[in-house]
Amino acid sequence: MFVPAIFIFLMNQKNILITGGTSGLGFELAKLFCKANYNVWITGRSLKAGLPEGMRLHFLRTDFADLRQTENVVKQLLGEGISFDVIVNNAGVLGPPSYTTTKDGFEYTFQINFLAHLLVNNLILSEHVPGKPVTLAIVTSPVYRVVDPDFRIPDGSKYFSYEMYSLTKHYLLLAGDYMKKKYNNQNIRLIKFNPGVFGSGIYRTKQNWFQFLYRIAAPFMRSASKPAGHLYELIHEPNLWENIVYRSKRKAGPASPVLTAEAEKFLLACEEAIKIVR
């Protein structure tokens, strides 16, 4: 049977969703996947750089501080029949200087870095065609290792911004394992990535003095395109260990946190908590 070349081309096109794709690492990664002919969806509140011309890049305006709005955007997309081959959990903020809550009532960093991703992954994976391969990439940070998680939804009783950020990056890794276990009828490939330190807009939630120092240091820091290149390679690398946090294809970091029964219970409680606010 004759199959037109254009049909084969369209059939072979892959879809990737990158949360926090409007700047920094996410934006650099989006450009790489566009060049590789993927259809690329990026989330964020505003696309400062504009859409690069001639690229299949779609901007989904989402504010992760608003779970209902985030859910509506993702559901609308899924309703159009889009299914993803790759999901990159990348959006992130540093903890604000003092305890701050979203309109949904959760601590700000906790919701942006972790809860909103739990929601997005659940929405996508629950609709995903069973058996169709999907890569779930988790962008963590070197600091995921320096915390001793208490597995409690933050309530403001004790708040240290760096500890909060580190906790969210720890919980996000666990969320990857949790998704894999929960959707065990899906063909999920998990990638855990620690980008190291690089220059980006991540300082935006911090105090003025921090922003000032960051801007001085930024020209001497690695560009976001470096870790984006590493993550791009990792996503294309078929032979990775799922319990290892990678720095790059050649640098496999330490083992990731283990999804214990306590961690699972916590993730379940977080899912329940976000069901209530939605």
138 touches ligand NAP by CB under 6 A: no
Record the tokens describing residue 5, joined without a space.
């070349």
The one among 77, 86, 112, 137 contacting ligand NAP by CB under 6 A: 112
Which window, 6-14, 20-28, 247-255, 270-278, contacts ligand NAP (CB under 6 A)? 20-28
CB of 143 to ligand NAP, least distance (A): 8
60 binds ligand NAP (CB under 6 A): no
Q: Judge contact between 62 and 69, C-beta under 8 A.
A: yes
- C-alpha triplet 229, 231, 235: angle, nearest 5°: 120
Helix axes 116-127, 261-277, angle to 10 degrees: 90
- Decide the pairing of beta strands 187-193 and 133-139: parallel
193-252 residues near ligand NAP, rule: CB under 6 A: 195, 197-198, 200-202, 224
Residue 205 phi, psi (nearest 5): -85, 0
Give the residue among 216, 244, 275, 69 at the shortest CA–CA distance from 140.
244
Q: Which is nearer to ligand NAP, 15 or 194 (CB)?
A: 194
Report yes or no: 20 and 65 within 8 Å, Cβ to Cβ: no
3-state secondary structure of 89: strand
Cβ at position 44, least distance to ligand NAP in Å: 3
Number of residues that bind ligand NAP (CB under 6 A): 28
Q: Is 147 in the site for ligand NAP (CB under 6 A)?
A: no
From 29, 38, 57, 92, residue interacting with ligand NAP (rule: CB under 6 A): 92
Applying CB under 6 A, which residues contact ligand NAP? 20-26, 44-46, 62-65, 90-93, 112, 139, 141, 195, 197-198, 200-202, 224
